[in-house]
């Protein structure tokens, strides 16, 4: 489980490094999706449906915050 979190954190970090040319709203959407996916995975013990659901909800929230 620790290795999965480390890999997820590394992937999230690499994804955020590519945000240099994005608008604020695009960046916030991506960050929201990443955080939501990680939270969904943590809450549902790594369930694919929980991860995808968390990413979807997080992306929507991040998109709205970036308005």
**CB-based contact 67:29 (threshold 8 Å):** no
Total domain count, the chain: 1
Q: What is the pTM of this model?
A: 0.69
Domain assignment present for 56:
yes
Q: Is 55 inside a domain boundary?
A: yes
Residue 65, domain member (yes or no): yes
Domain that holds residue 41: 24-67
Listed in sequence order, the residues at least 6 apart from 9 whose beta carbon sits closer than 8 Å to its beta carbon are 38
Q: What is the pLDDT along the chain (67 residues), one digit of tens a residue?
A: 678 888 888 887 877 777 678 888 888 898 899 999 999 999 999 899 999 999 999 999 999 986 7
In a domain, 2, yes or no: no
Residue 34 resides in a domain = yes
The H or E element that residue 37 is part of is helix 24-43
Please report whether residue 1 resides in a domain. no
Q: Is residue 58 part of a domain?
A: yes
38 part of a folded domain: yes
Measured at the alpha carbon of residue 48, what is the angle toward residues 5 and 58, in degrees to the nearest 5?
75
Quick one: pLDDT at residue 19?
67
Give the per-residue pLDDT at 66: 62
- Residue 37: the pLDDT is 93
């Amino acid at each position: 489980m620790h290795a999965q979190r480390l890999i997820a954190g590394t992937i999230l970090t690499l994804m955020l490094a590519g945000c240099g040319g994005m608008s604020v709203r695009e960046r916030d959407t991506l960050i929201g999706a990443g955080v939501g996916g990680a939270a969904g995975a943590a809450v549902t013990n790594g369930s694919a449906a929980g991860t995808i659901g968390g990413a979807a909800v997080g992306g929507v929230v991040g998109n709205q915050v970036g308005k």
